[in-house]
A and B are shown apart, each in its own frame.
Chain A
């Protein structure tokens, strides 16, 4: 800044260097805002079209059936001169009542295009909760070890190498791994448990790295003071390190939740079913609970986006599902980002 103002003082008008600078800075600014605009457009497109499905202009203002029912096949047929659309159950009843009129009327069907997405939401929540529980326990304990106990050596170097490489492994390879090990070798089948473990391992490096960073940010003086007062190492960690690192760990794990929920590839063949009639908690014995596959939102989006045609009858379920999913994940991520912003301001050592 100084340099240019001096130049202005000397020459009295902007130099060519200054003009080029302004031009280039505008170019950079343009690039940056272009990226932001692109993302905003995606949010707007899905927000507007999906929002129209989820929200209603009359009470209760929310499309409750869409959020509380299971997906159904949509039947489209001509009836009394107009197009009628009906979910499978309603259509069967209707057909029984109007058998004579419906004879010979062609019926187009679109799978999953009627009903709602409740089992998918439930399945996703279960998947995320379980995998985060596993990942958090493993990840935070690992981070404590790395930041508080580890001294540099071959084991630690190897460990860090493993974590870094694990972070770069493509999610589909985690999917293959989960399929090969949990689903087939351990014979869990396509199940919640296989999905939990696969997703947990996928997100583990993220949690370890972020938690370690949060632990490292706690000043050394806190630990030394505690140790000097005769506390054991464990007491020090429990009372003088973890409480201060906890907010940081939690924010990063919230971001990790967004990642777990958002990944489709690893759960595609470890945990997700295209269609399942029972809800996850409708099991005979509790042991069956972890060995059941579930329907999941991201997989449902994949299915409705790729396996059924794009037309006016299927658009609702496509955009509606994408809306629910995108904005749930976005809300989680937003919380994390805002929390992190706040924490940076609050804890400045």
Chain B
């Protein structure tokens, strides 16, 4: 290598000098070996660079979310949408009661037709009194609904104008941005255009006045509504059936509760302050603890991660619940019990399962598993299972079953490794003391490998949380926090997940919009979860090494 620098004949040097002389390299003073080393090192550094770039890219696009959501919430308050939403709660509460009445009616109809054997027409006739009552009751909200509609129209108009103003602002920015580097006359033209854009500055304080002016009407409407409801509730029809009487009693309780709620809401509306600033923490909390993910809505967009996070976690825990016993059992069986011939067959087989593409599994879930599970759930003998029969073909359980199959190879190979690493002497000592194979496995081998198995479980969990295609195809994609009130049946509800929402909505969002940034925020959460899981797993494995040594 050094020949390249010594192509001219040099004066003969003494041996000592030759040996001690530092050889000059041919590439920036480096020898070939050094260059190659740095080349390799540079390649290795790519991993660090990529990790850094990932962190940078997704955080860069995500941090912008907080200020944008801040502005989003500020408009929500300034334009008065928040105020109207307070009132909307009251209307929603009333319609919930009407729905409850409709439910009672359906039950009564069922009783009349099934038990008393009346024809539909006769049953309807018997229900006429009840219908009259229900209709009267439903009519008591009419005034409020009208008011709500009026207020909604007022505030939406303000919000629309604000949106137009924002768009124009962006347009002006673009024009001014285009001036840089443009020819002088073109730049002048651009500036003229930019100056020509009329941007309305909305005086929210003034705009909200018509809405606030409705306050006396609201109070009057509430008073007349409460009076009317009292009167109607007193004439509630009685039922012979004990269950229905109980429900009617409950309904009366709801009515009383509603009166209180009206007061509370009226108090909150009176206390509502348009000028109250939105804190930065509030803007962040609306994401981290927000229970609504509503996008592209004409009313108000919400970006709360809770429904997605809870959906992801629900599916992941379910999948782990299935994969954990199977994966660990398979690992123990293959390593401790199976004959060598079996081992040789099972290990590659399970490794091979991990190669099944997730999208194919998802397709299998749609085409086969979902329908099969639903058919099973419709067997009358299984009605005692909570949540059966399933309402939806695609739900958390369908996705979890398939994800379990994806997690099993991960858990299996890592757990098997951990069990394999338990020193032979541990086992031999146990056998020498007269323990059976099973006793040795339960009391010696598994506890010694426990931390390795824990790490395996964690990494399996990481794999499941980060999986996209199966949940996108099979989880049902309903953006809704799983309703724990329905008990164990919650596992048969359709959910949406963090990975699923990114995959589903990323392709359709406007670049750099708040929605776009919200998706990157979700990506950041996923990224952090994966880092946390890795860190935990490593910590556990490190402790495990010490315990064995």
Q: Which residues of A does B touch, CB under 8 Å?
A: 1-4, 7, 17-18, 20-21, 24-25, 27-29, 31-32, 34-36, 38-39, 42, 45-46, 137-138, 141-142, 144-146, 148-150, 158-159, 162-177, 179-181, 184-185, 201, 204-205, 208, 232-234, 255, 258-259, 261-265, 268-269, 298-299, 301-302, 305-306, 310, 315, 318-319, 322, 325-326, 329-330, 332-334, 337-338, 341
B residues neighboring A (CB under 8 Å): 1, 32-33, 36-37, 39-41, 43-48, 50-51, 53-54, 57-58, 60-61, 325-327, 329-330, 332-334, 337-338, 344, 346, 348-353, 355-364, 366-368, 405, 408, 431, 434-439, 459, 462, 465-469, 472-473, 499, 502-503, 506-507, 511, 519-520, 523, 526-527, 530-531, 533-534, 538
Contacting pair B436 A3 (CB below 8 A):
yes
Select B355's contact among A138, A258, A265, beta carbons within 8 Å: A258
Q: B44 to A146, Cβ gap below 8 A?
A: yes
**Residues of chain B within 8 A of A27, CB atoms compared:** 329
A175 and B50 CA atoms in complex are apart in Å by 13
Q: When chains A and B are docked, how far (Å) is the Cα of A52 from the Cα of B469? A: 25
Q: Which one, B36, B48, B362, B466, contacts A170 given CB within 8 A?
A: B466
Given A164-B534, A170-B530, residue A149 in contact with residue B41 (CB < 8 A): yes
**Complex partner residue of B51 from A20, A137, A166, A301, CB under 8 angstroms:** A166
- On chain A, the residues within 8 Å of B367 by CB distance are 305, 310, 315, 318-319
Contact, CB under 8 Å: B499 / A265: yes
Q: Are A305 and B431 in contact (CB under 8 A)?
A: no
Count chain A CB atoms within 10 A of each CB in B329, B333, B357 and give the residue with the most: B357
Cβ contact within 8 Å between A262 and B502: no
Give the number of residue pairs across the A-B interface with Cβ within 8 Å.
Answer: 272
B338 cross-chain contacts in A, Cβ below 8 A: 29, 32
A318 to B362, CA, bound (A): 12
Which A residue sits closest to B36, measured CB to CB?
A234
| Residue of B53, B57, B337, B468 touching A171 (CB-CB under 8 A) | B468
Residues B503 and A172 in contact, CB atoms below 8 Å apart: yes
Q: Among the listed B44, B350, B468, which residue makes an inter-chain contact with A142, where contact means beta carbons less than 8 Å apart? A: B44
Partner of A25, one of B361, B438, B506, B530: B438
Q: Is the interface of A mostly helix, strand, loop or mixed?
A: helix
A138, B533: Cβ atoms under 8 Å?
no
Question: B58: which A residues are within 8 A, CB to CB?
Answer: 173, 176-177, 180
**Contact of A28 with B333 in the complex, beta carbons under 8 Å:** yes
B356 touches A3 (CB 8 A): no
Return chain A residues, CB-CB under 8 Å to B436: 3-4, 7, 17-18, 21
| Chain A proximity of B118: nearest CB distance (Å) | 40
A/B interface sample: 13 pairs, CB < 8 A:
A3-B437, A35-B327, A138-B43, A141-B39, A141-B44, A162-B51, A166-B50, A168-B531, A177-B54, A234-B32, A261-B357, A302-B469, A325-B357
Q: What are the residues of chain A within 8 A of B520 when measuring CB–CB?
A: 176, 180
B523: which A residues are within 8 A, CB to CB?
A: 172-173, 176
Contact of A173 among B334, B366, B526 (CB under 8 A): B526
Known: A166-B51, A305-B473. A175 touches B531 (CB 8 A): no
Compute how far the CA of A36 lies from the CA of B352 in the bound complex, rounded to whole angstroms. Answer: 10
Q: Which residue of B lies closest to A301 (CB)?
A: B359
B534 CB contacts on chain A under 8 angstroms? 164-165, 167-168
A4, A176, A184 — which one has the most chain B CB atoms within 10 A of its CB? A176
Closest to A237 in B: B36
The 7 closest A-B pairs by CB, nearest first: A170-B466, A262-B357, A333-B355, A145-B40, A31-B329, A141-B43, A28-B333
Q: Which residues of B contact A315 (CB under 8 A)?
A: 367
